[in-house]
Amino acid sequence: MHARKIALLSLTEWESGDRNIEVVLEHRLAGANLDARDTALTQNLTYGVLRWKGRLDWVLDQYVKGSLRSLPVPIRNALRLGLYQIDYLDRIPPRAAVNESVELAKEFGHKGTAGLVNAVLRNILTSIRPDFPDMRKDPVGHISVVYSHPRVLVERWIARYGTEMTVVFCEYNNEVPRLVARANGLSSTTPALARALKSEGQDTRPGRYFDECLEILTGGDVSRLSCFTAGMMQIQDESTLLAVQLLDPRPGEDIIDMCAAPGGKTTYIAERMLGEGTIKAFEISELRADKLDSNIERLSIGNCSVIRDDAMAAADGPVDGVLVDAPCTGTGTFGRRVDSRWKFDLLARERVRSDIDELKRMHPRQIFARQVGRQLRLLLKAATLVDDGGRIVYSTCSMEPEENEQVVARFLEKRPDFALEDASDFVPPMFVEGGFVRALPHKQAIDGAFAARLVKSGGTPLVMEAEEPADLAMEAEEVG
């Protein structure tokens, strides 16, 4: 199969199903036997269409009679692929882009749909396109279309950050994400990793904020590099280091990671502990637990055990520290997870299909409320695991206050035996705001992240018993 066909199949499976696009595309490419050039084109087409889907769909809606949504999913994606190549891939002649999309429409539709795709794309090529929504009259509409983000989220961000910063945030999300490696300090150093990468044809430069990190400039599939397979590095954005630095794990301690996969934070905890002490890494998903195991083995970490169970039920203490890297809507990682802006299903990918279908019908505000219920339950469980003087770090890759400081505030109301400890002693000051860790893509140009350090000071908790999920979700919606 050629690159465009694999891209169409991947986009169609993603739009019709419940798996994230990385999993879908990885599966498709595994059986395709493409060379490096065609693999890169497939990835470009797939991720590019999803990154710009809002803008592509708006343009196509101006030319499709009825609406784009009225067409079968494969035909929609044939049109999107054609327009994406016309607007964003200079090396592909427009006529070739049209012809390839028409061929896809023939294969996955019929003569009529092929004619429609041909007519729409040629009309776009030869006509003067309609103007986008006016920025002054309709800033939400303009930003959501031009920068390809859901309108409901643009409304939230404008209210919080202002129009100018929202544009910067959306622009960041539409850039191809940086490829960053953390040197595995248990077996290598950053200079040694840079030399090893150079010997394999990879150019690098230092990370923006942390000595452990290198930005890999050359690209390609780094998982095939010998320095990767030898365990010299872990691929992870610099923002993911912040929660572990806030946890400040020490050699000889006992640590629990309640939501551990794929293991970037877990393995960094092990590095900071110098391989001494114990880490219990919980992961309820078998697929994600397999990836976690693979990373732990590859990085030669000997003090971490993977527990394939729900930490809510299986974790016990007391321990020195708990990391609650909570499932969230992931709004801080929209640049890296290009499909997550269109599907708020990060929390449900490993759950039953009926649950995912229910989530797709929800308004984002309802999803935030549902998330808060789950996040607060995780925190309340973590509170039962730490010894006096121990600490919890609560972290997300969300930029939404409902999932961040509001969750912490609600937790502290229920557990006055815990106190928020200022993050200034643990992370660079540029990432500290109001005592919390906060990374903002439109300010620091890394993925969004939030973290809070909660220390158990002793005393009697206000609420010891578990709460019903429905009660927490209702409560969260009131807070939101």
Residues catalogued as catalytic: 397
Q: How far apart are CA 109 and CA 386, in angstroms?
A: 58
| Long-range pairs, 278-281, Cβ under 8 A, ≥24 | 278/253, 278/254, 278/303, 278/304, 278/305, 279/255, 279/303, 279/304, 279/305, 280/254, 280/255, 280/256, 280/304, 280/305, 280/307, 280/315, 280/319, 281/257, 281/305, 281/306, 281/307
- Enclosing H/E stretch for 166: helix 163-173
Residue 132's SS3 state is coil
Cα 144 to Cα 152: distance, rounded to the nearest angstrom: 9
Torsion over CA: 309, 299, 440, 432 (sign)? positive
User: What are the residues whose beta carbons fall under 8 Å from the beta carbon of 190, sequence distance 6 or more?
Assistant: 183, 206, 211, 212, 213, 214
Based on its alpha-carbon atoms, the radius of gyration of the chain, rounded to whole angstroms, reads: 23
